[in-house]
Amino acid sequence: MGFWWATSGTWINLAAVLLGTLVGWGLGRRLNPALADQWRRWLGVITLLLGLAMAKPLLEQRLGALPAVLPALVALVLGSSLGTGLNLEARLGRWLARHQQIPAQQVDLQRDPDQQARHQQIPAQQAREANSGLARAGILSGAFLLFCVGPMTLLGCLRNGALGEPDLLLVKACLDGVSSAVLASSVGLTLAWVLLPMALLQLPLSLAGAALALGSGDPTSAPVLIFSAAVGGLLVIALALELLDLPHPSVSNAMPALLLAPLLGWGVH
């Protein structure tokens, strides 16, 4: 298995963020948020189609004497129960909020650099420069969380590494490209710095997927791996419903199902 074969989706993802950054920097404030929202919804439709294609083997495959859809349901129910018991979604939400929020007093001072200058007894110009640096740092950290913290990153990288299929990361690349254009319209080329931590996270994840596929022969024909990828497809369908603003089960709480699926698949098979 070649390095490019296992990591192609990440490189395309990084290129999409760079392109989106350049487009957003070029357009500046002229980028229409309503148009970006429409792009997101159409990407949700494509994500739904991709999830259905990924989950299709559950209707055709058998694990031992059972149709694959039954252990898939067990994996999702047990995984969701475990995730809900651990309160994964709420914990992730609090973690994101803790890393993205600015204290109220700091926000008030940021609205008025002259007030900040009086409060800290520093020149107003220096206060404005400090505000600019703080805002840019906040956008960079928020962009990294937006691009890299979520089920699509984990599913896409593992799928790319294990099966050589970058399709899910291609959809993620489109989403990240649109988001980076919107963010870069405010912060400019500084956003490109987010590419480094993205690469440091996603490349090892893809290589981990490739390592998991070793010893299973042709990973594209290994029943347990196909079953696990199909369970991931059901989570992708839930992600698509979220992008379309439709009722959906909690994907974050269901993430333990990705760990249970290969265990159940191996046990039943």
Domain holding 173, by residue range, is 3-268
Q: Which two tokens stand for residue 39?
A: 């792009």
* Structure confidence by residue, pLDDT tens digits, 114-168: 444 444 444 544 444 444 444 455 556 667 767 876 678 888 898 899 888 898 8
CA–CA separation, 194 vs 19, rounded Å? 13
Question: Is the confidence at residue 203, as pLDDT, over 80?
Answer: yes
Question: Is the confidence at residue 53, as pLDDT, over 70?
Answer: yes
Pairwise pLDDT comparison (57 vs 118), residue with the higher score: 57
The pLDDT assigned to 125 comes to 47
> CA-CA distances (angstroms) from residue 92 to 34, 60, 86, 95, 231?
27, 35, 11, 5, 22
Rounded to the nearest 5°, which phi and psi values hold at 63? -110, 105
CA angle 242, 201, 26 (to 5 degrees): 70
What residues form DSSP beta bridges with 62? 67
Q: Which two tokens stand for residue 187?
A: 């912060």
What value does the mean pLDDT take over residues 27-38?
78
How is residue 102 annotated by DSSP? Answer: -
Judge contact between 194 and 136, C-beta under 8 A: no
Non-local (6+) Cβ contacts of 203 within 8 A are: 7, 10
Using only C-alpha atoms, the chain has a radius of gyration, in whole angstroms, of 21
The pLDDT assigned to 62 comes to 85
The pLDDT assigned to 206 comes to 92
Q: What is the number of domains present in the chain?
A: 1
Of 10-14, 66-70, 97-101, minimum mean pLDDT range: 97-101
Pairwise pLDDT comparison (130 vs 251), residue with the higher score: 251
Judge contact between 191 and 19, C-beta under 8 A: no
Non-local (6+) Cβ contacts of 68 within 8 A are: 57, 58, 59, 60, 61, 62, 227, 230
Pairwise pLDDT comparison (219 vs 253), residue with the higher score: 253
Pairwise pLDDT comparison (49 vs 107), residue with the higher score: 49
The pLDDT assigned to 141 comes to 60
149-181 burial, b if ≥16 CB within 10 A, otherwise e? bbbbbbbbbbbbbbbbbbbbbbbbbbbbbbbbb
Confidence tier at 74 by pLDDT (50, 70, 90): very high
Confidence tier at 198 by pLDDT (50, 70, 90): very high
